[in-house]
Amino acid sequence: MVDWGNTTVLLTGGTGSFGQRMAARLWRMGAGRVVVYSRDELKQHEMRQRYPDGPGSPARYFIGDIRDRDRLMMALRGVDVVIHAAALKQVVASEYNPFEAIKTNVLGAQNLIEAAIERGVQKVIALSTDKAVNPVNLYGATKLCAEKLFQSGNAYAGGGVTRFSVVRYGNVVGSRGSVVPFFRAKRETGKIPITDPRMTRFWITLDEAVDLVLRALETMRGGEIYVPKIPSIRVVDLAEAIAPGCRQEIVGIRPGEKLHETLISEEEARHAVDAGDHYLILPEAWWAERGWDGEALPEGFRYSSDTNDRWLSVEELREMTEGAHALV
């Protein structure tokens, strides 16, 4: 178990949607110190108004970029746990700026791994995405590379204390850049653009994502990928929930988009287990620990948004999205 009262946590991408929700949860849990690490001084200033730092406060704010290894080394002094949420995550932006996506998502991951090992950080959890599974766009490819780096980081740590694991989940309700605010803005026109009426996606709330990360930090051994059991949505149902009565206009799938998303591929399922409320994809490397609890998945198992056994209705989606603007 993590002794949160005596633990210092560093959140990369700490001013993002997930980072802010995670920081708030850690402060409520009584974490000893929570360092918000990001490169946006305005967002840090705004966050500081709600969660002040200074004497007696567990909050700390650290301007820095994960591309800057020296700055990471400075930020990681005395840190016990790292939650890595920093990334360039916009599919279209990554396609247009591929070098920038690689510098942040791949080389930034390498910087963090090396710095965490050198500083003796105990646990590092990296956030990943369903787009890392059989990627068809650069963003997904960079996140797949990052997953592999964090798994292999355990081998680089050798006999040291540092352990690395990954959480992988789908679209987050109301996060910045999600389709929810986009649909909400478009409903004023009376028309909602739909890429394809067959499109499905996995759906998770910010609080569920935070719960998954905290559970992983309590149970991780190193090298595993945590995958939550979450519902799917039909994009046409989401549009109806946010903009009832609006005409849905089919505009076609954009470059780099999938019709459906996958959280566990059939190949990964052969070394994954059902651990109750989540799945665990286990590392196959010779150095990895063995003996995780859980049931082996059936032959041919594949966890995809279109074959999911849990679906959110229009009514459930409406209830979730009505308060999405207040999630952070």
In whole angstroms, give the CA distance from residue 128 to residue 138.
Answer: 14
pLDDT tens digit string along 32-65?
999 999 999 999 999 999 999 999 999 999 999 9
Q: Give the pLDDT band (50/70/90) at residue 328.
A: very low
Q: Output the pLDDT for position 254.
A: 84
Within a 10 A sphere around the Cβ of 224, how many other Cβ atoms? 27
Q: Are 192 and 249 in contact (CB under 8 A)?
A: yes
In whole angstroms, give the CA distance from residue 236 to residue 16.
Answer: 27
| CA terminus-to-terminus distance, the chain | 27
pTM for the model: 0.94
Residue 255 has pLDDT above 90, yes or no: no
Copy the structure tokens of residue 101.
């996506």
Q: Pairing relation of β-strands 123-129 and 33-38? A: unpaired
The residue among 14, 70, 22, 72 whose CA lies nearest residue 38 is: 14
Q: Is 123 tagged catalytic?
A: no
Q: Lowest-confidence range among 215-229, 245-259, 305-319?
A: 245-259
Q: DSSP letter at 311?
A: B
Residue 172 has pLDDT above 70, yes or no: yes
The residue among 322, 147, 319 whose CA lies nearest residue 224 is: 147
In whole angstroms, give the CA distance from residue 306 to residue 133.
Answer: 15
User: What is each CA distance from 276 to 64, 73, 228, 263, 296, in whole angstroms?
Assistant: 38, 37, 10, 16, 12
Q: Which domains does the chain have, with CATH numbers?
A: 4-170+203-230+262-302 (3.40.50.720)
pLDDT tens digit string along 62-121?
999 999 999 999 999 999 999 999 999 988 899 999 999 999 999 999 999 999 999 999
Please compute the mean of the pLDDT values over residues 301-324 and round it to a whole number.
Answer: 91
Q: Output the pLDDT for position 146.
A: 98
What DSSP string runs through 57-117? --EEEEE--TT-HHHHHHHTTT--EEEE------HHHHHH-HHHHHIIIIIHHHHHHHHHH
Q: Output the pLDDT for position 326.
A: 42
Q: Are 224 and 292 in contact (CB under 8 A)?
A: yes
Within a 10 A sphere around the Cβ of 256, how many other Cβ atoms? 16
| pLDDT, averaged across the chain | 93
Catalytic pick among 89, 123, 131, 186:
131
What DSSP string runs through 27-54? HHHT-SEEEEEES-HHHHHHHHHHS--S
Name the more confident of 287 and 147.
147
pLDDT tens digit string along 196-212?
999 999 999 999 999 99
In whole angstroms, give the CA distance from residue 144 to residue 123.
Answer: 20
Please compute the mean of the pLDDT values over residues 254-263 and round it to a whole number.
Answer: 91
Q: Give the pLDDT band (50/70/90) at residue 184.
A: confident
Residue 288 has pLDDT above 90, yes or no: no
